[in-house]
């Protein structure tokens, strides 16, 4: 049952609500018609970090619950079932105050994931060659002693010398919707992602671009991330289920068919989010092998 427009205005006029100046005119239609009976929440608009707001308020891009919900996964599953009717896609947030910026206005619909990842591969290889060509920097005795005392950091760099192409789509092991619901339950119970949000989006991969999510630490644009996520949706039945300040959690319905394909997929992960591998306290082969068992992918940008 749609909520009346006046209800939205009243909720945004609550003292202390940062969006009290949002007017009905700039609220997207899907967010005007929020499902009835939702927990207390508010609409959020993208903004510039620390920048003064100039001109009229930007249109809100999502609704989010005011408080963390112990049953956020139950809400998520119910709202996920109704997403095609409501036009609102649920996603779990770890924090209610993530920075959302308008970005470059691209939604990634014109980006081909294979081409994007190939360009990232070329950039990675060029930079690695430039680093390897640099003369060694002499170290001091103090630095040598410190290095001896510290454990060696695992080598998370890819093991490929040539671009292998994209990982082959394996046979589905489970339904994407069921896998996503199981991931939502895991994120609520084990990862404390308990703020429920609703985003006007046709599919989960569109969420980063739709809200101007900035958690990638300028590694790639929200539109490019959405393009890669769409490719993973098509090949692996992946679904973006949760977001933290700089983390993204993606459910998986089809894991790599063998270790060779796991290495190719691990390269895609590396080119999208190097920190997940390089700072994951494991080698690249270990990370690839782990993908054979994982039903939730966790990405973290430092």
Q: pLDDT, tens digit, for every residue of 168-218? A: 999 888 899 999 999 999 999 999 999 999 999 999 999 999 999 989 988
Lowest mean pLDDT among 39-43, 126-130, 260-264: 126-130
The percentage of residues in the chain with a pLDDT greater than 70, rounded to a whole number, is 81
The pLDDT score that the predictor gives to residue 153 is: 60
Which pLDDT score is estimated for 146? 52
Q: What is the pLDDT of residue 11?
A: 39
**Long-range contacts formed by 139-144: CB under 8 A, 24+ apart:** none
d(CA 91, CA 30): 15
Counts of helices then strands in the chain (DSSP H, E): 12, 7
The confidence score (pLDDT) of residue 232 equals 98
pLDDT at site 17 = 35
| Higher-scoring residue by pLDDT: 35, 138 | 35
pTM for this one? 0.85
Residue 286 has pLDDT above 90, yes or no: yes
Any idea what the Cα angle at residue 62 is, between residues 57 and 64, rounded to 5°? Answer: 115
Closest of 104, 91, 103 to residue 63, by C-alpha: 91
Tokens encoding 259: 């270790």
Q: Judge whether residue 133 has pLDDT over 70.
A: yes
């Amino acid at each position: 049952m749609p909520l009346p427009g006046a209800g939205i205005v009243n909720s945004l006029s609550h003292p202390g609500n940062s969006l009290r100046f949002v007017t009905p005119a700039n609220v997207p239609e899907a967010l005007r018609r929020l499902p009835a009976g939702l927990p207390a929440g508010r609409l959020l608009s993208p903004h510039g970090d620390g920048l003064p707001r100039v001109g009229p308020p930007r249109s809100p891009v999502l609704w989010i619950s005011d408080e963390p919900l112990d049953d956020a996964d139950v809400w998520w599953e119910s709202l996920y079932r109704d997403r095609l009717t409501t036009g609102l896609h649920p996603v779990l947030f770890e924090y209610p105050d993530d920075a959302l910026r308008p970005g470059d206005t691209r939604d990634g619909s014109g980006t081909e994931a294979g081409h994007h990842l190939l360009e990232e591969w070329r950039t990675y290889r060029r930079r690695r060659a430039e680093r390897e060509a640099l003369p060694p920097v002499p170290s001091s005795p103090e630095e040598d002693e410190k290095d001896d005392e510290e454990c060696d950091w695992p080598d998370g760099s890819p093991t490929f010398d040539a671009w292998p192409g994209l990982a082959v789509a394996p046979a589905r092991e489970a339904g994407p919707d069921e896998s996503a619901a199981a991931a939502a339950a895991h994120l609520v119970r084990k990862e404390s992602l308990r703020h429920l949000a609703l985003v006007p989006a046709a599919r989960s991969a569109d969420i980063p671009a739709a809200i101007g999510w900035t958690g990638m630490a300028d590694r790639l644009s929200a539109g490019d991330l959405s393009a890669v996520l769409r490719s993973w949706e098509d090949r692996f039945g992946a679904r973006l289920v949760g977001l933290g300040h700089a983390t993204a959690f993606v459910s998986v319905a089809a894991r790599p068919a063998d270790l060779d394909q796991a290495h190719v997929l691990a390269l895609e992960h590396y080119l999208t989010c190097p920190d997940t591998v390089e700072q994951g306290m494991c080698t690249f082969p270990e990370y690839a092998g782990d993908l054979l068992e994982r039903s939730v992918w966790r990405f973290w940008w430092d």
